[in-house]
DNA sequence: AAAATAAATTAGATTAACCTAATTAATCAA
DNA sequence: TTGATTAATTAGGTTAATCTAATTTATTTT
């Protein structure tokens, strides 16, 4: 079908398209894929030939509908495998990403759907990211950054924007757990430090950087 | 670490070494890997450079100890994933091989061992093939072909030598099931047709070809 | 042992995915 | 609006893994 490399390009384009604008720059792809720019140009030409992307010289790329389908399929695989690793094999949420990067490329729609069923049709992965359904529909999250909250506001911790193992470990250690309630007790004017009340009345103080990486839902 | 291609060569060499003699011929590899002979020669040279095999021009290949370790590791992965697919996801034994061919290349010893635990440390895969342990030790089966049995002999059905989906389907349809007892009621002199008593007294007649693909243990 | 056949290797190409160095195109600042 | 800076492409290579055609080596058969 498609090579792992192509699939990784598609996933990267998809994520950059979501995060930033509609077209994705060669340099942005080179950075996230950890290759040099000419390799990207080269690959984009091949992928345009396969109608996975529309590529305009020096203008950037966009996914075609076909390309988007493949990208979302891989994200679905990735997130379902992460659930499997955490729920069934006992991995921690900071350990599963690299394994899922491999597992996401196993080609079988049927396997994906059977895995989905086995896991009880989860709505989100261990990091709170939504899992696309079998038709490639990805529910749009309405979670918002904790850094947009004011004193007294509260919500439920439902996701992160920083997926690094170090950040996830910090959260574990500090007492954050997905699904728990969080209330803003105070925000320091000087440096935007947040004082939070976690589940069980536990109070913690976190930096703006942390508040800016936590997603809360009402 | 190693490419999928290298891993498939190692697995193929291992299996041919087990089945036939000590050294494996270029042509045999070309056949099972479905590539042409010069590709094999080429690859063997590269693999010899990596000390995965010992290769003597025009003489054949053998695995090094390092190569054997890798090969057995992949077979371990393959068989554990097959158990997962059948026991956990509800696949039938004739459906899992191709998926396992992909999954076996996921590289993580830790994942393999966690999967092993999750599955309850199975001794054999859905086709009765033994699963190597974490140290690469593969228990030598003492099962024997049904075709070596005489009238009146009996045993337990514990494996197959033909892993094709068509054969496995035939077994399902005819009433064979791994672990069941089988007794030889008669053998026709003329064409070596076997009359067997299966579990629940059910009698079936099978060809020599079938009797020669079933493994029984006492 | 020579001839015939089969198996394996060498020679020379191809393709995907990458690279560096050089060049061109686009964007920003004076 | 020119000039500088940054981004992107072209040109020319490399490596792994494959191929076909030609040649060499090994095994049989006479
Ligand atoms: Mn992930
Ligand atoms: Mn995730
Ligand atoms: Mn198999
Ligand atoms: Mn099997």
| Identity of the residue in B90, B102, B108 whose CB atom sits nearest the CB atom of A114 | B90
Whether the Cβ atoms of residue B13 and residue B1 lie closer than 8 Å to each other: no
Say yes or no: do domains A4-63 and A144-217 share a fold.
no
DSSP 3-state of B194 = strand
Statement: residue B21 has pLDDT above 90: no
For residue A205, what pLDDT is reported?
97
b/e A193-218 (16+ beta carbons within 10 angstroms → b): ebebbbeeeeeeebeeebbbbbbbee
**Tokens linked to A132:** 């696309």
**Tokens linked to B92:** 């039938």
pLDDT, tens digit, 9 for 90 and up, residues A49-60? 999 999 999 999
Residue B188: how many CB atoms within 10 A of its CB?
A: 11
For residue A21, what pLDDT is reported?
81
Q: What is the CATH number of domain A4-63?
A: 1.10.10.10
| Identity of the residue in B88, B89, B111 whose CB atom sits nearest the CB atom of A99 | B111
Between CA A79 and CA A81 the distance in angstroms is 5
* Site of tokens 């896991």: A119
- Tens-of-pLDDT digits for all 218 residues of chain A? 899 999 999 999 999 999 988 899 999 999 999 999 999 999 999 999 999 999 999 999 999 999 999 999 999 999 999 999 999 999 999 999 999 999 999 999 999 999 999 999 999 999 999 999 999 999 888 899 999 999 999 999 999 999 999 999 999 999 999 999 999 999 999 999 999 999 988 999 999 999 999 999 98
Q: Which fold has domain B144-217?
A: SH3 type barrels. (2.30.30)
The pTM assigned to this predicted structure is 0.94
Confidence of residue B20 (pLDDT cuts 50, 70, 90): confident
Closest CA to A75 of A134, A143, A162, A1: A134
Q: Which nt sits closest to A2, CA to C1'?
A: C16
pLDDT, tens digit, 9 for 90 and up, residues B175-217? 999 999 999 999 999 999 999 999 988 999 999 999 999 999 9
Torsion of CA B51, B57, B61, B63, to 10 degrees: -10
Beta strands (DSSP E) in A84-153 are: 144-145
B66 touching chain A per CB within 8 A: no
Q: Which residues contact B206 (CB under 8 A, 6 or more apart)?
A: B174, B193, B194, B196
For residue B22, what pLDDT is reported?
86
Nucleic acid strand C within 7 Å of A5 CB: yes
Whether the Cβ atoms of residue A52 and residue A63 lie closer than 8 Å to each other: yes
Pick B1 or B86 by higher pLDDT: B86
- The rounded Å distance from CA B42 to ligand 2 centre is 41
B103 touching chain A per CB within 8 A: yes
DSSP 3-state of B4 = helix
Between CA B23 and CA B14 the distance in angstroms is 10
Q: Which residues pair with A56 in a beta bridge?
A: A60
Antiparallel, parallel or unpaired: β B194-197 and B181-187: antiparallel
For residue A149, what pLDDT is reported?
96
For residue A12, what pLDDT is reported?
98
pLDDT, tens digit, 9 for 90 and up, residues B135-164? 999 988 889 999 999 999 999 999 999 999
Average pLDDT along chain B: 96
- Listed by start position, the domains of chain A span 4-63, 144-217
């Amino acid at each position: 079908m498609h090579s792992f490399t192509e699939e990784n390009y598609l996933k990267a384009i998809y994520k950059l398209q979501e995060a930033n604008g509609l077209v994705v720059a060669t340099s942005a792809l080179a950075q996230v894929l950890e290759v040099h720019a000419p390799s990207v140009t080269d690959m984009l030409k091949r992928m345009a030939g396969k109608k996975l992307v529309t590529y305009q010289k020096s203008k950037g790329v966009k996914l075609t509908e076909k390309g988007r389908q493949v990208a979302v399929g891989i994200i679905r695989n990735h997130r379902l495998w992460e659930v499997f690793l955490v729920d069934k094999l006992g991995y921690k949420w900071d350990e599963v990403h690299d394994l899922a990067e491999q597992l996401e490329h196993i080609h079988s729609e049927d396997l994906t759907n059977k895995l989905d069923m086995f896991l009880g049709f989860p709505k989100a992965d261990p990091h709170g990211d939504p899992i696309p359904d079998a038709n490639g529909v990805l529910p749009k999250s309405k979670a918002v950054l904790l850094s947009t909250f004011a004193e007294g506001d509260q919500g439920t911790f439902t996701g992160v924007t920083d997926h690094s193992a170090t950040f996830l470990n910090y959260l574990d250690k500090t007492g954050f757990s997905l699904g728990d309630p969080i209330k803003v007790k105070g925000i320091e004017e000087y440096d935007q430090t947040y004082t939070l009340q976690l589940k069980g009345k536990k109070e913690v103080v976190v930096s703006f950087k942390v508040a800016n990486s936590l997603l809360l839902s009402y």
